[in-house]
Chain A
């Protein structure tokens, strides 16, 4: 497995030299969504707290750094941490309310969805940040402004993000933090009985996860140069974030990445297939079907399944 991963990494590092620009975009998005999926994975996969509102954190991160750059001239390289911090604050609020009031399963999902939607509607109605028209960033091509003439720069940044998030997750996985999170996911009451401060660890997972997602918001803003409340705070983005680790294998280190490599090309294909109708929801049908198939037939996701496959191939 390790050799395979290293080989894949090597290929990804040299790939931009030969990729056409369209494929470069697809890869960049693949990495970026894998990164967001990895951020989600910490909370949803390891700690088992299902959030379908992670778009809120991305949105806050994106708007924060974009507004700071526009109004205060702060470089997004710093703004992204402010955005991450604000996203973490929201995460802490949601987490505190949800965990203190004992919302589990479906009720926690509803809470995250409701908060994301409140953010979306608030953004739509706040003229100072562009309201329904959205926020546009003027392209300067200045790297200090997180802007690059060469799209390959975004490719490497997105790759760097996903690698960093995966490294963080790998570190967490081996430490007490990660072990406690999986115990909470499996049985919260039993974890408490075994001495796990479940509230504190769920809060930590929530804050870390929302901080990482918030960092990602800056990339989103300065890669796309436009922010619409309906897209950056919308449920479809939350679904994009959730579905990758679920398909790849929630609570596994490589799950979000494998999931993203399965889903992004699939989404592109279906968009392409239905592009004639000028219609944008096709990939969501594909996601829906895939979600159902995964739940029914691969509840652990692709990674454990692949691992078994590879394990069987070895003598």
Chain B
């Protein structure tokens, strides 16, 4: 509980920073104006542009952190993340296809495609999860699914009609939260809430799975149903996050490890802290992407990996001891 309060405090601090700073620097008097008159240009920068973007980063990061924690628990593997079952690859491929087909002009078409791609992959994995207990089976199947998603994306690149479309696809695959507004947040909320609900439902089973499939199977819990719920939850969360921000790696892998030690390494207790840690990570990464001076704005996926990977290596170094089983 103390961990959650601490993390929430951190999240609010990160959000405040993210709203306060950005590409355009404001003087103190301008901040005062913005608060006095939200309709003023300064107010528009803070509450019309930065605030929804920061909240979108928080929501996306939370979804990825939670999905990563659920995947790690389900597969009993500290290296698992939302991408491991091919969900993000299919989501990205479906979005790329939508862009190339020129659906970008239709509102929500690309976002829906991203979510649809994730759900298609998620459904395939869920069918498998209901039938087979062993995490290795799921991982192998996921690797195949991810490779297929990657190949479809490459094929779309290959056959793409124009360089402009290619640039669009590439931008999507590298992840960005530029120009996200409140309506984007509203649209992502429903699938994310549903996904989080599935994850919460499956939480208890993750703890049981720590002792192996057979112990879990005899624990009295409806394991087949709970495994499907975990996969469905992770797929919804990942799909909604790709729809919101494109493909962003790393957050789902790293967030659970940042809080694991403080949550007694319990795969159920680690879920909520992982979500908040993921939110903090992505809000800060997006802030960095905006304030680092560069010709064009840095891509969010680039920033998360560039700054997150060394940090993660440090955490992994410290945690390595407890992974030895």
- Do the two shown chains form a genuine complex with each other? no
The interface of chain B, by Cβ under 8 A from chain A, is none
The interface of chain A, by Cβ under 8 A from chain B, is none
